[in-house]
Structure 1
Amino acid sequence: MAQNAARRNLAQLNRMRWIAVAGQLLAIWGTVALLDVTTLPWGQMLPVVGFLIFLNLFSAWRLRRGHPITDLTVTAELLMDVASLTILLYLSGGASNPFVSLFILQVILAIVLLPQGHAALILLATIAAHFWLTGNGVPLPLPHLWHGAGPSFLDLHLQGMFLSFLLAASLLTWFVTRITANLRDRDAQIQALRQQMLEEDHLVRLGLLSSGAAHELGTPLTTLAVTLDDWQTLGAPQGDELDDKIAVMQRELSRCRQIVSEMLLSSGQERLDEAQAMRARAFLEAAIEGMALPVRISFDMRCDPVIMADPMLEQAVRQLVDNAAEAGSRNIRISLSPGGPEQLALVIEDDGPGFPDAILADPGQPFQSDKDGAGRGLGLFLTGNVMRRLNGEMRLANLRHGAQVTLLLPTLEAAA
């Protein structure tokens, strides 16, 4: 992002330099041809203008070839512009040249295009150059003043000041107009990115809820499938046993409806509206509550700071625990400990087969699960997105016997 801004700034500077070069050539020609100042050392001034032309061509070549451009690059070229203007002014009267006010244009460019420190460097360079020119400069005698004819030196100086103002004001107007247009385009892009992030946030929420619902629906649907398979193979039971089986099936169907209803309800809730401050232990217990898993879950609460309890985070924790159970774990250990300054480490460890190497190498890619780690791929991808949106971090590791997932969460107080 910073390099793209530097590239745009250098391109703007190049456009203005072409205008400045044209103005310098016109000024040299007008002084010699119109004012008949044959003493103007134009032979020494043209190489300076030629250097600026070469600098612009070189910058354009770098931009086209995609070479790295930084703020330091723009600063260096602006310093060359200051040095070139100083030489031209030295050869044409020094500080008495009315075009000495063009230094202020370079200061304004630096303020707009560069960081504060770099702009201050350009300011100091222009101040030093202007101060040096007050005592140095090649005198520029005007022929008509020798004979007492034509306009006075003051008249010519005032005319030069007017031309200098006209040039500086025109360049600034053009430059600021371009910058304003760029700012409007940037604001539009930021707004589009903000809208895209909101949409992606909602999609991640729906994905996490859907993935969690799929895991939770697995148990009741498995119960129904087993019961129906038994009936198909052995025949339907009779009497009270049939009534009991039907009651179990109705409970499982009710649970399925409840899971789907909760997912639809949660999908319509805004994340920030639902987030609330609560103790990490209470949040964790609420997240695990109601999970019917064939594993033993143990807790190790070394701290209990206040965190922002987000429904997406709760669903992510349930997803990780469910993933561990599906991967064949028999024991799951959940711990809370300080993860750093104003940070909580929520660690989930299991004794399953561990993560495949592909997931450890790039946990940000979805659908990387295999038979030994069923269900891990999409759940980890969604959990990673949730952590990024909460300004947290997810870390994966394999233990000697099992896997470890560490969620680093920001806290509202020190995790002591």
Structure 2
Amino acid sequence: MFVFSPNSAIGRLLLLRTIAIVVQLLMVLAGSFVFYKDLNLFPVLLVIAVESAFQLVSVYAYRNTYEAAHTGMLLQLLADVIFLTIILSLSGGASNAFVSLLLLPIVIGAVTLPKHFVIVIAVSAIASYGYLFWQMPSEHVHHMNMTQHFAGMLVNFVFSVLVIVFVVMALAKQLQQREIKLAKAREKQLKNEQLLALGAAAAQATHQLATPIATLGLLLEEVQEEHPQHPAWQDIQVALTQCKEQLEGFRAQTEYLKHTPSQAPLKIGDLLSELKSLAAMQFSSQSIILEVSNQQDLICADPLLIPALLNVVANAARANEQTSQTKIEIKSCSQNHVWILTISDLGSGIEPHKLVKLGHDIVPSEHGLGMALVLSNATLERLQGKMTIENNPQCGATTTIMLPLMKITI
């Protein structure tokens, strides 16, 4: 069973070589027995046999490989150049009508290999054609004064090689870039659909929670009238008030998202001051240490930016709680017209295989699915920013957020 696909580069090359071997054998036999050409059959058949053995060895060598490395593809194409050169030298050299087949390895290399590998194949093909030209039988050259004709064929071959190397490679690179853009567009569309489904599910959950919370509020008032001195009433009232505020905030954000998001300039100092206040209120057990060196700088923000940053602080707070730590460091600075915000915790860090996906895809864990970071990253990307997460050398993790600064015009 073969792992490589017939649609892969190595799969197509091996399939093409198999077809070429069959065609070579048929053409040689037809030329020798049907058209009565003066051809020494044994050496040509021996070369085809060696080429067939090389093909079998190549198929066996790549049977467990999805795709060949660039070096492997280069060696395979150079082998094709060598086999073609030997067969052509035994059947008329440069006067053979099939000498242009030396262009095929260059074409294949131009669409599958880097530029420096393609140049190696092109130089090898030109050298092979030059060898065939100089080793061509003298009776072929002097017959009907064909010297200029064959020299013109050599020049035409070199020109064709140059066209393939520079034009075909440029077209192949352009197609690859277009495929990359299409892949990114598809990935972004899938992500947007995922976020839309998540938002719809959250809105439905909010709608379903509103009625039970209102009912609990009414029941609380009735029970409180019967037992007004119970010490738990105040804590219950605070919890219910927080639930109602969160629901109202979510409803406000939902209404905001129904319309075109409006962005406005915002001072970094004001934003971080509000962020610290919200974090201190929600995570009272944590100590928020804020260092700001660019309070007067402006960024283009929208109402969802602060909730996105608060999600990152919430992750840091949860990480600290797991290791009984209480310190969260938030540092803000500006470099090269970019706002850089780092949020560091003292938790146990993040597993390396999750670092790459965290914030970009759903990452299942015992504490959730990483939905908050996915939503935060989506908000930052909408504002032309980005977010990276990495583990600290000692302990904990650091989330780095970068957003472009607004240019102040005088």
TM-score when scaled to structure 1?
0.63
Letter in 1 for 2:120: L
Residues 16-415 of structure 1 aligned to structure 2 (within 5 Å): 16-38=16-38, 40-66=39-65, 69-137=68-136, 194-201=185-192, 203-204=194-195, 232=223, 235=226, 255-268=245-258, 280-285=268-273, 287-288=275-276, 292-293=281-282, 295=284, 297-303=288-294, 309=301, 313-323=305-315, 327=321, 332-337=328-333, 344-349=339-344, 354-356=346-348, 362=354, 364=358, 365-369=363-367, 379=372, 383=376, 390-397=385-392, 405-409=398-402, 411=404
Letter in 2 for 1:260: F
Q: Is the 8 A contact 1:346 1:409 kept in 2?
A: yes
Q: Quick one: structure 1 residues 248 and 133, their matched pair in 2 at CA, closer, same or farther if it must change by over 3 Å?
A: closer
Distance 1:261 1:393 in 2: 29
Letter in 1 for 2:191: E
Q: Is the 8 A contact 2:316 2:347 kept in 1?
A: no
Distance 2:306 2:404 in 1: 15
Q: Return 376-385 or 19-28, whichever deviates more.
A: 376-385
Question: How many residues of Structure 1 are paired with residues of Structure 2 in the alignment?
Answer: 357
| Aligned residue number for residue 149 of structure 1 | none
Consecutive unaligned residues in structure 1, runs of 5 or more: 146-151, 162-175, 239-246, 370-374
Distance 1:37 1:324 in 2: 82
Deviation at 1:121, TM superposition (A): 1.8
Q: Return 63-72 or 14-23, whichever deviates more.
A: 63-72
Distance 1:359 1:227 in 2: 45
Consecutive unaligned residues in structure 2, runs of 5 or more: 154-167, 230-236
Q: Quick one: structure 1 residues 392 and 86, their matched pair in 2 at CA, closer, same or farther if it must change by over 3 Å?
A: same
Q: Quick one: structure 1 residues 5 and 337, their matched pair in 2 at CA, closer, same or farther if it must change by over 3 Å?
A: farther
Distance 1:308 1:59 in 2: 58
Q: Return 57-66 or 80-89, whichever deviates more.
A: 57-66
CA RMSD, 1 decimal:
5.4
Deviation at 1:136, TM superposition (A): 1.0
Deviation at 1:235, TM superposition (A): 2.3
Distance 1:72 1:332 in 2: 49
Could you give the per-residue CA deviations for residues 157-192 of structure 1, whole angstroms, max 9, x where no partner exists?
99xx9xxxxxxxxxxxxxx9xxx9xx89x96x9858
Q: Quick one: structure 1 residues 133 and 317, their matched pair in 2 at CA, closer, same or farther if it must change by over 3 Å?
A: same
Distance 1:6 1:391 in 2: 39
Deviation at 1:62, TM superposition (A): 3.9
Letter in 2 for 1:314: I
Distance 2:41 2:298 in 1: 75
- Helix, strand or coil: the match of 1:65? coil
Letter in 2 for 1:14: L
Q: Is the 8 A contact 1:205 1:267 kept in 2?
A: no
Deviation at 1:260, TM superposition (A): 2.8
Distance 2:298 2:22 in 1: 65
Letter in 2 for 1:76: L
- Helix, strand or coil: the match of 1:335? strand
Q: Is the 8 A contact 1:366 1:380 kept in 2?
A: no
Could you give the per-residue CA deviations for residues 294-338 of structure 1, whole angstroms, max 9, x where no partner exists?
636442112466656466653231123345567487665422136
Q: Quick one: structure 1 residues 253 and 86, their matched pair in 2 at CA, closer, same or farther if it must change by over 3 Å?
A: closer
| Aligned residue number for residue 162 of structure 2 | none
Q: Quick one: structure 1 residues 110 and 332, their matched pair in 2 at CA, closer, same or farther if it must change by over 3 Å?
A: closer
- Helix, strand or coil: the match of 2:291? strand
Distance 1:14 1:252 in 2: 67
Q: Quick one: structure 1 residues 302 and 44, their matched pair in 2 at CA, closer, same or farther if it must change by over 3 Å?
A: same
Distance 2:262 2:59 in 1: 52
Could you give the per-residue CA deviations for residues 250-298 of structure 1, whole angstroms, max 9, x where no partner exists?
987873553131232355467xx65677554454345556664463644
Q: Return 23-32 or 259-268, whichever deviates more.
A: 259-268
Tell me the percent identity: 22
Distance 2:369 2:34 in 1: 82
Deviation at 1:346, TM superposition (A): 1.9
Q: Is the 8 A contact 1:75 1:122 kept in 2?
A: yes
Distance 2:288 2:72 in 1: 58
Q: Quick one: structure 1 residues 252 and 109, their matched pair in 2 at CA, closer, same or farther if it must change by over 3 Å?
A: closer
Q: Quick one: structure 1 residues 281 and 191, their matched pair in 2 at CA, closer, same or farther if it must change by over 3 Å?
A: same
Work out which structure has the larger RCO, using CA pairs closer than 8 Å and 6 or more positions apart in sequence: 1
Letter in 1 for 2:390: R
TM-score when scaled to structure 2?
0.64
